Amino acid sequence: MKRRRKISSGDPLVDWLFVRIAQILNRKGTNITLVRSLTETNCGRRRTIYGVVEYGEDPYKNDILINGTHAMNRRPEGRGITLLHEAIHILMRTVQEPRVLNLEPLLWERLSPAQRRFIIFYVPRHFTDQR
């Protein structure tokens, strides 16, 4: 019988990535907030985005903002996927957006239900209004 309860997907590579993501979410310097609106200006166009990382000068201090009103983020699972996406950015800082977008569903699909719940648990229940 195992003494230590480990949340495993059964795939060592997935578990390795999950532990790195969990460390980022657990870290004191990671500040996660749920906001009502989030936009970005790209090529002069303003568009709504579902999440973003504001990188700190210190690589261990980063703010993750989740747009809780975005269609993708109405349900807890969507917010969890967004949080996973932003945590992948922190983990793989030099990897560009399209590749993070490729990795995010591949990893989410392979996580165990307990691993997904763990990530969803880190999404704040309430909105922060100051932004």
Binding residues for Zn ion, rule: CB under 5 A, are 97, 100
| Pairing, β 39-42 against β 30-35 | unpaired
**Pick 97 or 129: Cβ nearer Zn ion:** 97
Residues with Cβ within 8 Å of 76's Cβ and at least 6 positions away in sequence, in order, are: 120, 123
Torsion of CA 54, 68, 30, 121, to 10 degrees: -160
CB of 53: closest distance to Zn ion in angstroms? 8
**Pick 100 or 120: Cβ nearer Zn ion:** 100
Decide: helix, strand or coil at residue 93. coil
CB of 51: closest distance to Zn ion in angstroms? 7
DSSP label at 127?
A: B
**Pick 8 or 105: Cβ nearer Zn ion:** 105
CB of 2: closest distance to Zn ion in angstroms? 36
**Pick 15 or 38: Cβ nearer Zn ion:** 38
CB of 1: closest distance to Zn ion in angstroms? 41
Residues with Cβ within 8 Å of 11's Cβ and at least 6 positions away in sequence, in order, are: 110
